[in-house]
Homo-oligomer: A and B are copies of this chain.
């Protein structure tokens, strides 16, 4: 394995606008990432593009809009993990020496397609019976509350923290300064999850230029090294065995730690897939940052906040940024790079050296998740 570095990264501001076109959003992200990398478009040897709902040829549409096409372009679908999956493919191509410079894109317009509906596959009997994502996470929250003494106020505090983090992130469309009361008084979506416990679908794009060590050194700038990259899918019945433990998140994280030669104690901060407040709880524990049930205390004592030992979702997370399905994974890595380069402005985590991004999505046919990726980056 050769070393691989992110030398250009970008994301559009995530918003809700059905009129935004994937090729325009994607091209905007590509131009910014390529510009930051200081490379020419013709230097891009290969492109992987994550997208779920855009139909055929989304990567090609983006690159045609960018104005440079002809290199290999592969479109990747893995539900909410599509962008981080595309990032992984480019990372592998570079780290295994197949290419020197690659481009990963994630892009989605969800609002024109989903019109507010939770995503459920036509064939999804479970979803058709009402066990949609809010319902699934509500059940998991109830179980976690029963097992570990978590209260709605704890979940509400995550909503408050992440919305505040997002308030200081100019790319986050839904940050806000709210208090716990606001969360608890917001409409109930699926008991115990209120409206503010849920993320919102959104529209946006993100892109990353990944290169090998020689090029990273030659171009200068602030390369960020990718030291771990793992993709796993869920196993069959695990969601029903223990709703408070994320086996797929655990496996992906352990694999990534092994690659990086570190343990969870070495992670300075993380972006985790907080599609709901309870999801952040389950994921911080799933990736082994915190012991099982330990998030109750971490929420209470501020460990996950900017002043704490393990700031989580300093970008604002999905709760603040919004969640453009096929773009979210690279947007997490955007935050990692910004923090590791010391460019996060008002939301900068002091002394951030190693960051982790955990992205997961889908739950077909009773499996825990279609996919879960964990990436570890180092400044």
Contacts and interface: CB of A to CB of B under 8 A. Distances in A.
A122 interface: yes
A232 B47 CA distance: 11
Contacts of A122: 55
Interface in A50-81: 52, 55-58, 60-61, 63-65, 67, 69-79
A364 B64 contact: yes
Contact of A121 (B56, B93, B232): B56
Contacts of A370: 56-57, 60, 73
A35 interface: no
Interface stretch (A5-13, A233-241, A286-294): A233-241
Contacts of A56: 52, 77, 79, 119, 121, 362, 364, 370
Interface of A: 21, 23, 52, 55-58, 60-61, 63-65, 67, 69-79, 85, 89, 92-93, 96-98, 119, 121-123, 230-236, 248, 251, 362, 364-367, 370-371
Query: Assembly of this chain: how many copies?
Result: 2
B60 A233 contact: yes
28 contacts: A55-B121, A55-B122, A56-B77, A56-B370, A57-B79, A57-B121, A60-B370, A61-B123, A63-B233, A64-B366, A64-B367, A65-B365, A69-B234, A69-B236, A70-B233, A70-B234, A70-B251, A71-B232, A71-B233, A72-B233, A73-B371, A74-B78, A74-B231, A74-B371, A75-B78, A76-B77, A96-B96, A96-B97
